[in-house]
Amino acid sequence: MVVVFDIGNTNIHIGSYKGHTLKKQWSFPTKKNMPVRKVKAILADKRVEGMAVASVVPRLTRLVRIHGRKLGLPVNVVSTKVDCGLEFKYHDPKTLGADRIAAVVGALTRYARDVIVVDAGTAITIDVALSTGDYLGGVICPGMHILSEMMHDKTALLPRVVVKKTRTLVGRSTEECLQSGIFNGTMFMLSGLVREIRRRHGRDFFCVATGGGGELVSRHVEDVERFDADLCMYGALIIYYRNVSSLKK
């Protein structure tokens, strides 16, 4: 089995894979300290043969790598320094987040098509890649919870609201107006961006959503064709398999 870590700014997702099949998964909030006891228990399984890590929290990346090395396990950390099977059309690939790389690799592997990946987490990222492996670039937008906090923190009178779909587009209270602006504004923005990317590139991109808000996005944005919960972990797994022989040397 390979244990995969998807370490984000809000949550840590861990999955154990047998071959390409997800057998078990765990999720924890990202805090100052990794749930060390739980991680040690997961890695203590004698069937574990390696680890894959896609992380945007460098301190936790180092901690996971240390645990793996102590157990003598090969650890592959997703970055542009390892073989990802992608050709980056990005001005500075080193600045590209591991989660974005992994999600794109996961989508290209699973769907074998030109893809648009919408990862709705703390921030919302949109990444565009061709079936040939060319990574074209993307878009980064604030997530809905960031918008909610920002509207409250940066104004004197606007309240903090729960992010949710409103019954009507036009709100009839300040709370409803904020909720509509955040929720509907985000959904219309994503729909418009996906359509415009398809138009400008002249390609029928397959659009898949992932991340904590990915299911919500897939239900309310017609242009998103599928929700894929473990896309980032799966991509990190594929990158592990591409590099495992060199890790064992």
Single-letter code of the amino acid located at 32: K
Respond yes or no: is residue 99 known to be catalytic. yes
Within 8 A by CB and 6+ apart from 4, the residues are 14, 15, 16, 17, 51, 52, 53, 54, 233, 234, 236, 237, 240
Which two structure tokens, joined as six digits, stand for 72? Answer: 């003598």
Same domain, 24 and 135: no
Calculate the dihedral angle through the C-alpha atoms of 187, 189, 190, 191, rounding to the nearest 10 degrees: 80
Question: Cα-flanking dihedrals φ and ψ of residue 37, to 5°?
Answer: -60, -45
Could you tell me which residues are beta bridge partners of residue 138?
127
Q: What is the pLDDT of residue 247?
A: 80
Rounded average pLDDT over 3-20: 94
Same domain, 20 and 120: no
Q: What is the pLDDT of residue 61?
A: 93
Range of the domain at 18: 2-81+234-247
Q: Could you say which of 6, 45, 83, 99 is catalytic?
A: 99
Q: Are 126 and 209 in contact (CB under 8 A)?
A: no
Q: Are 80 and 54 in contact (CB under 8 A)?
A: no
What is the pTM for the complete model shown?
A: 0.93
Burial of 80 (0-12, 13-18, 19+ CB in 10 A): middle
**Which of the four pLDDT bands, split at 50, 70 and 90, describes residue 33?**
low
Distances in Å between the Cα of 25 and the Cα atoms of 6, 39, 201, 230 are: 11, 12, 37, 9
Same domain, 107 and 173: yes
d(CA 89, CA 177): 40
pLDDT digits (tens, 9 = 90+) for 64-116: 999 898 999 999 999 999 999 999 999 999 999 999 999 999 999 999 999 99
Q: What is the pLDDT of residue 170?
A: 96
Same domain, 65 and 102: no
Same domain, 194 and 238: no
pLDDT digits (tens, 9 = 90+) for 201-229: 999 999 999 999 999 999 999 999 999 99
**Which of the four pLDDT bands, split at 50, 70 and 90, describes residue 15?**
very high
d(CA 246, CA 249): 5
pLDDT digits (tens, 9 = 90+) for 120-173: 998 999 999 999 999 999 999 999 999 999 999 999 999 999 988 888 999 999
In DSSP notation, 3-55 reads EEEEE-SSEEEEEEEETTEEEEEEEEE--SS--HHHHHHHHT-TT--EEEEEE
pLDDT exceeds 90 at position 249 = no
CATH at 48 = 3.30.420.40
Same domain, 197 and 94: yes
Same domain, 30 and 69: yes
Q: What is the pLDDT of residue 36?
A: 79
d(CA 87, CA 99): 16
Same domain, 33 and 67: yes
Same domain, 139 and 74: no
Same domain, 142 and 62: no
Same domain, 93 and 210: yes
Tally of structural domains, the chain: 2
Within 8 A by CB and 6+ apart from 194, the residues are 116, 118, 126, 205, 207, 221, 223, 224
Q: What is the pLDDT of residue 35?
A: 75
Count CB-CB contacts under 10 A for residue 204. Answer: 9
Same domain, 55 and 174: no
Q: Are 97 and 57 in contact (CB under 8 A)?
A: no
